[in-house]
Structure 1
Amino acid sequence: MINKEFIELAKQKVLEYHTEHFMEPYDDRITLDNVFVAWYSKVLQNHKALLGISDMDDQHYYEATYNGDKKQLYLDIYNKQENKCFEVDE
């Protein structure tokens, strides 16, 4: 699988998950254009990406991993629990 194919597949699976779990039937306000890749890496035949959705109602981030040996895609969904700010002295 090439990089572009993996990214398209990962974005599609994130959209499918989001649509199934967080959207009302026939709500089409979130599309593939709203799914973005924040980070991506490929090592040998394996791919990994961190993705998000540009929708204020979705506080999740998604980790897609493709195992090239088994030809399997895994999708992990994480929920943002808290956002803390710390002052740092330099």
Structure 2
Amino acid sequence: MLEKAKQLASQEFSRLSGREIKAEDCFVVWFSKTLQNWKALVSTNKITSSETCGDYAEITHNGDKKETYVDVYAKVSNRAIKD
């Protein structure tokens, strides 16, 4: 599951960035599995945050439908909120 998540993320990062991003260039930030479903949040250091193609992928596997969905995000904002 983790390797599949990194492979799918690398394929989408490569497609969107126009250059090769290998699965070994990706790392899993978070993973969860419940019954036949799972989700992984995957990122890479090969894409900078200034690039608009996105460097963070959400891989969601629907075990009932035997489908996996890949959503890619780019950071738009980061601000500190004081307590």
> Structure 1 length as normaliser, TM-score?
0.76
Please state how far the C-alpha of 1:60 moved relative to its aligned partner. Answer: 2.8
Match for residue 32 of structure 2 among 41, 47, 54: 41
CA RMSD, Structure 1 to Structure 2 (Å): 1.6
Alignment of 1:2-81 (within 5 A): 6-24=1-19, 28=20, 30-58=21-49, 59-81=54-76
Please state how far the C-alpha of 1:56 moved relative to its aligned partner. Answer: 4.6
Structure 1 residue ranges, 4+ long, deviating more than 2 angstroms after superposition = none
* Structure 1 unaligned residues grouped into runs of 5+: 1-5
Aligned partners of 1:9, 1:52: CA distance in 2, in Å?
A: 14
How many residues are paired up? 79
One-letter amino acid of the structure 2 residue matched with residue 12 of structure 1: Q
Aligned partners of 1:8, 1:73: CA distance in 2, in Å?
A: 13
The structure showing larger relative contact order (alpha-carbon pairs under 8 Å, at least 6 residues apart) is 2
> Structure 2 length as normaliser, TM-score?
0.82
Q: Note the alpha carbon deviations across 1:52-74, whole angstroms, 9 max, x for none.
A: 11225255311101111111100
* Structure 2 unaligned residues grouped into runs of 5+: none
